[in-house]
Amino acid sequence: MKKLYFLLLPFVLLSCKSTNTTVANTASKSTETAYKVNQTDVSDFLKYLSSDELEGRDTGTEGINKAAVFLEDFLKKNNVKPYFKTYRDTLTNFDSPAFNIVGVLEGTDPELKKEFVVLSAHYDHIGIDKSKQGDNINNGANDDASGVTAVAEMAKYFSKTKSNKRSILIVFFAGEEKGLLGSKSLVQKLKVQNFNLYAQLNIEMIGVPMKRDYLAYITGFDKSNMAQKINEYTGKKTIGFLPKEAEYELFYRSDNYSFYDVFKKPCQSISTFDFENFEFYHHPSDEFKAMDIAHMTAFIQEFLPAVTKITDSKTQEITMTK
């Protein structure tokens, strides 16, 4: 997640308790999927992406280049085609060579495939803190290797099931920690192409569960009906309202905002980092061993019916409300 030291860190360290959370209404019906997310696959993917070998994946470094190769190989193995000539989308706003990784899964419906759903997460982090002794690698397991893992598993699901009537853009952003640079760069290229965006789900920090009666929260809860529709699609209290998210305006602090700013469509981030459940924000201890793999697997599994419905609904059911 983009740097929020002056806002977030005191709450992370003190583990303050928030109250009066509101949960979005659920519907009685859900879209079922027989597909099962493999927990070992989730673990193996996350373990490598957050390993010391990648040196904290700082944008423009050899570490993030290794991560890019890993992500390219994953997309190729799972038959996700490059959206551009290659998977690498070079940033136009960063001095050193840096790139997003962008793939596409074409929709199966002749008309709906002209519309796009974007599934995204940022694969960069903040790298090595050379001022520290001992462990000085900021591995970024939760922030945001966890989100990248979730998006990768969703890409694998759709590549196998071919259940998406709309086309899906799979994006792993670089430069998020530098000021949303990867998403700001990509969205301008898509705008020139008259990219037909329906909605974006950006996954941000889902490595540990919350102790609440809903699975995750959404940024900009009241800006669209996405939370309500996701709950309708899953038939569960999947998404709730987190007051701290609204207080700190997290809607504007991750890569969803770059897309909303240009397209003014439902573009929101999903997260389980609630200021109480994880004290290692931008810290070397944000590493694989601190992640709850069973939770992550269950998170991905629960979201599959919702994402499937978003990609195949006959009309654009998710709409802006303000």
- Taking the C-alpha atoms of residue 101 and residue 60, their distance in angstroms, rounded to an integer, is 14
pLDDT at position 37, please? 98
Q: For the chain, which residues make up each domain, given as ranges?
A: 5-312
Burial class (CB in 10 A: 0-12, 13-18, 19+), 133: exposed
Average pLDDT of the chain is: 92
Beta pairing, strands 22-23 & 239-241: antiparallel
Q: Token pair of 80, please?
A: 């996700």
**Closest C-alpha to 8, from 309, 286, 281:** 281
Supply the pTM of this predicted model.
0.92
pLDDT at position 10, please? 40
Q: DSSP letters along 188-199, please?
A: HHHHHTT--EEE
pLDDT at position 28, please? 39
pLDDT at position 130, please? 86
pLDDT at position 27, please? 41
> Class of the 5-312 domain?
alpha beta
| Token pair 């997640």: residue | 1
**Closest C-alpha to 276, from 309, 243, 252, 305:** 243
Dihedral sign (CA 233, 278, 220, 203): negative
- Which CB contacts under 8 angstroms, 24+ apart, belong to 313-320? 316/115, 316/198, 316/199, 317/225, 317/229, 318/198, 318/199, 318/224, 318/225, 318/226, 318/229, 318/266, 319/224, 319/225, 319/266, 320/223, 320/224, 320/264, 320/265, 320/266
User: Which positions of the chain have pLDDT values less than 50?
Assistant: 5-7, 9-29
